[in-house]
């Protein structure tokens, strides 16, 4: 059964016949390089992917919305009003779209009526491919399209991030929502997280594909570990600011950092800051290499990124390290690294098309033997950002 038929069947079961419905799609994202640089004032290089979240939407005449996720069917239909909203733990995953409705209302974009919505996600759960950002930007686009608010995508991206920060209470950077909303087919986005300046860069990797490998370890970057890394970088920055006039670690070149690194008193904080600086420079170098069609260099920088995340930032773990290190030994692999926050989730590898089957077989067998359970593989197509699907 195809996705649309399944969604219509579920819609009928939950809400009755799907008449006058509209369909929307919102992608997930991968980050090709530039990890843990966003909150350190650096650059990231993400792209939207063809896995994501679909919504089948019908207007209601009252001020109530009912929402159902096929992926979270056990949570049932969740109802909420379209104004005066507060975070409610009992509403579980629906707090992400509800938060967006709340942010819109507080910004003066009030909905005239509610919706019946069925959602279905093709992103693997807990894989660190930004399912929450996918749902948030999806809701923003549904509201904007339905009520003709005329909000541009960058503002919807910011509002979606605000929903996650303020309503849900997760202190994420801007990258996920930006990649989801602003994605462009066959392109990645070089984004300066300090200024939100961005440009598209064509992913000219003919003959190769991006293979996402899911550790199938639940993505569990504890808030405590994430906050600890942020705190370590912030403290390192404050010590460096005593000798250099900078606002963020992302402003330093590698040489500038090396010259003053000893001003960071804690050796562990020095490593964290070193990753932030070197990863930012690696990202700029990688994009330059890609634009010169030097994909071999791009692949090598991906590998270097993983090593830095493992040794200097300490956010990988045995599952991600096993996937990356085994991938490096496979024929036809240009590069492989963890993507996302770490401690589980996925790696991405650039693999020659003719070697993909062997890659899956070999990496899968070695990983399963070492870790005790199987990984999952997805070949990613680079997709457009969140949009209405014209029926």
49 contact partners, CB below 8 Å, separation of at least 6: 27, 28, 29, 30, 129, 212, 380, 381, 382, 383
Structure tokens at 110: 């009030």
- State the residue for tokens 């800051």: 273
Catalytic residue among 102, 116, 176, 312: 176
**Per DSSP, what are the bridge partners of residue 388?**
24
To the query of whether residue 176 is one of the catalytic residues in this protein, the response is yes
Structure tokens at 267: 């050796």
- State the residue for tokens 């003719």: 354
Say whether 384 sits in a helix, a strand or coil: coil
Chain centroid to CA 184: how far? Answer: 15
What kind and span of H or E run contains 255? helix 254-260
Contact (Cβ atoms closer than 8 angstroms) between residue 68 and residue 76: yes
**How many whole angstroms separate alpha carbon 66 and alpha carbon 75?**
12
Structure tokens at 25: 């799609």
Neighbours of 390 (CB within 10 A): 6
Active site residues: 176
């Amino acid at each position: 059964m195809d996705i649309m038929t399944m969604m219509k069947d579920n819609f009928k079961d939950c809400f009755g016949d799907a008449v006058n419905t509209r369909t929307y799609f919102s992608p997930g994202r991968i980050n090709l390089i530039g990890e843990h640089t966003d909150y350190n004032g650096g650059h990231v290089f993400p792209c939207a992917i063809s896995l994501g979240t679909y919504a089948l939407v019908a207007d209601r005449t009252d001020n109530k919305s009912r929402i159902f996720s096929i992926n979270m069917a056990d949570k049932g239909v969740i109802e909420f009003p379209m104004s005066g909203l507060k975070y409610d733990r009992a509403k579980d995953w629906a707090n992400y779209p509800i938060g967006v409705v709340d942010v819109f209302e507080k910004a003066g974009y009030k909905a005239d009526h509610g919706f019946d919505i069925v959602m279905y996600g093709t992103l693997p759960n807990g894989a660190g491919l930004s399912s929450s950002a996918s749902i948030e930007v999806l809701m923003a686009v549904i509201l904007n399209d339905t009520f003709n608010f005329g909000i541009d995508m960058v503002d919807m991206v910011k509002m979606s991030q605000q929903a996650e920060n303020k309503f849900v209470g997760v202190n994420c950077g801007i990258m996920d929502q930006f990649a989801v909303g602003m994605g462009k087919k066959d392109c990645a986005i070089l984004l300066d997280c300090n200024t939100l300046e961005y440009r598209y860069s064509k992913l000219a990797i003919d003959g190769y594909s991006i293979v996402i490998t899911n550790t199938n370890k639940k993505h569990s970057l504890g808030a405590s570990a994430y906050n600890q890394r942020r705190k370590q970088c912030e403290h390192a920055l404050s010590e460096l600011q005593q000798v250099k006039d900078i606002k963020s670690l992302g402003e330093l070149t590698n040489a500038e950092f090396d010259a003053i690194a000893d001003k960071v008193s804690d050796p562990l904080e020095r490593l964290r800051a070193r990753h932030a600086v070197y990863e930012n420079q690696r990202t700029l170098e990688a994009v330059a290499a890609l634009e010169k069609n030097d994909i071999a260099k791009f692949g090598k920088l991906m590998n270097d990124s993983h090593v830095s995340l493992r040794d200097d930032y300490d956010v990988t773990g045995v599952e991600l390290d096993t996937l990356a290190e085994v991938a490096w030994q496979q024929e036809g692999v240009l590069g492989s690294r963890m993507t996302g926050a770490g401690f589980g989730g996925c790696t991405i590898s650039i693999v020659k098309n003719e070697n993909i089957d062997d890659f899956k077989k070999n990496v899968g067998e070695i990983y399963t033997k070492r870790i005790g359970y199987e990984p999952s593989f997805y070949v990613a197509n680079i997709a457009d950002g969140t949009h209405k699907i014209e029926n």
